[in-house]
Amino acid sequence: MGRGHEYERNGFEYQREEDVVIKKYRQRKFIIIAIGVSILCATVLGLAIGLSVEAEEDYSGAPHSVRVERASQILRNYPLVDGHNDLPWQFHVRNNNTVYGSINLTVGWPDVHTDIPRLREGQVGAQFWACFVHCNSQYKDSVRLALNQVDTIRKLVSRYSQDLEWVTTAQGIEDAFSAGKIGSMIGLEGGHMIGGSLGNLRSFYDLGIRYMTLTHSCNTPWADNWHKDDDGESYEFDGLSPFGELVVKEMNRLGMMVDLAHVAHRTMKDAIAVSRAPIIFSHSSAYEKCNHNRNVRNDVLPMVKNNRGLIMVTFVNNYINCSDYASLDNVADHIDYLKNQIGVDYVGIGGDYDGVTNLPVGLEDVSKYPDLFAELLRRGWSPADLEKLAGRNLVRVFREVEEVRDRLARENEAPFEDLIPQSTWKNSTWTEPCWTSS
């Protein structure tokens, strides 16, 4: 082959290589343009979707059925934690604390507000079951009766373990919800059940009690209850006694939430001032919307916010509308009012089902929570705020209470071992402790 042919061949190969380079460049240019167009389209589409979602989140004018469905989606995303349910008391008065008897909560119990099917329909994610005994047991057998009620609640959770799960921590609430269970906790509804003993308080914590209501409808020998606000003059301790302050501090040390439902106005203020952890009102509402002494007054609201505490709005007609009649709208009014006064981070839900007879129209039993959340959607509440109301606020408080407990443990704070003064212990054979030498 001659040199000319070789040149032509090399030239041809050079031209072919150049064509390949140009072709690759054009392909690369096309790809870059295509990617750019895709990004632009995606941005525009994303903006459109964002605007669409934003528009979709405005449910103020949506039909009730649409709002209920959206409320159900929200409650599927994070657990609704109700602060107070008295079903265990119904087992006491109706069934002599027999849980494994003829009553079967999986098929319903028509004479009460609570059973498994309705809890599921209402999308309850976690429940504080109330351990309650009457004030007339104080100075007598309140501790024994309270232990019976704790046993009833433990049996209840055990029998219905396919639906209920025993919980003692904030994380446990979320874990139970993830497992498809209703987290079950205990609140001790009345400080009279500790029998004036910090040792009994510690024992109840070990049994799973995670909040204690400082008083019920009677004074304890260390705190004034809400009835003392009726005349404003018959306070026995002007709120908390010095021993009552130690009860609050010991609850902080243990990691037990301090519940101020049922306490006197002055007791509320004293307890918030003394507590080193956030407090709760497990089932109380707004005094400004209904001037009942079971509710939280305006001068206490900023104290709750500063304490990072929580007011769990109850559904009791007399506390919601100051009459035997109330409606779901009235309950929503209380929730709205508290949100507007101190912010959405400090409001929760505490129905008080099976502890009362008169309940609002539209909230007749535990299946009705989605309807309440649908009403709040109509009023312009966002899904994020509704999750806070449902349970995020309570879990946040619970975690902060645990954090205070852990900090005090790191600081080696010892248990308080003070004894209640005999002068405040009434109608009993209580005597000073004695010791014998060996």
Long-range contacts of 145-151 (CB under 8 A, 24+ apart): 145/193, 146/188, 146/193, 146/204, 147/207, 148/92, 148/97, 149/88, 149/89, 149/92, 149/97, 150/186, 150/204, 150/207, 150/208, 150/209, 151/97
Which ranges in 160-241 belong to alpha helices (H)? 170-178, 198-206
* Phi-psi category of residue 338: left, alpha or beta, with phi > 0 → left and psi -120 to 50 → alpha: alpha
Identity at 302, one-letter amino acid code:
P
Q: How far apart are the first and last CA of the chain?
A: 125
Which ranges in 220-309 belong to alpha helices (H)? 242-254, 265-274, 301-307
Residue 378 CB: number of other CB atoms within 10 A? Answer: 16
Which is the catalytic residue, given 113, 192, 262, 334?
262
Q: Is 119 exposed, middle or buried (0-12, 13-18, 19+ CB in 10 A)?
A: buried
Identity at 196, one-letter amino acid code:
G
Which is the catalytic residue, given 165, 259, 270, 352?
352
Identity at 258, one-letter amino acid code:
V
Can you tell me the distance from the alpha carbon of 105 to that of 160, in angstroms, rounded to the nearest whole number?
8
* Catalytic status, residue 113: no
Which is the catalytic residue, given 84, 113, 265, 334?
84
CA atoms within 13 A on the CB side of 20: 6
* Catalytic status, residue 5: no
* Catalytic status, residue 57: no
Say if residues 117 and 215 touch (Cβ distance below 8 Å): no
Ordered per-residue pLDDT tens for the chain, 438 residues: 443 433 333 333 434 444 443 344 345 444 444 444 344 444 333 433 343 334 447 898 999 999 999 999 999 999 999 999 999 999 999 999 999 998 999 999 989 999 999 999 999 999 999 999 999 999 999 999 999 999 999 999 999 999 999 999 999 999 999 999 999 999 999 999 999 999 999 999 999 999 999 999 999 999 999 999 998 889 999 999 999 999 999 999 999 999 999 999 999 999 999 999 999 999 999 999 999 999 999 999 999 999 999 999 999 999 999 999 999 999 999 999 999 999 999 999 999 999 999 999 999 999 999 999 999 999 999 999 999 999 999 999 999 999 999 999 999 999 999 999 988 887 544 433 333 333
Which is the catalytic residue, given 115, 165, 189, 224?
189
Which is the catalytic residue, given 86, 174, 354, 365?
86
* Catalytic status, residue 92: no
- Cross-strand partners of 166: 184
* Catalytic status, residue 8: no
Query: How far from the centroid of its chain's Cα atoms is residue 121's Cα?
Result: 18
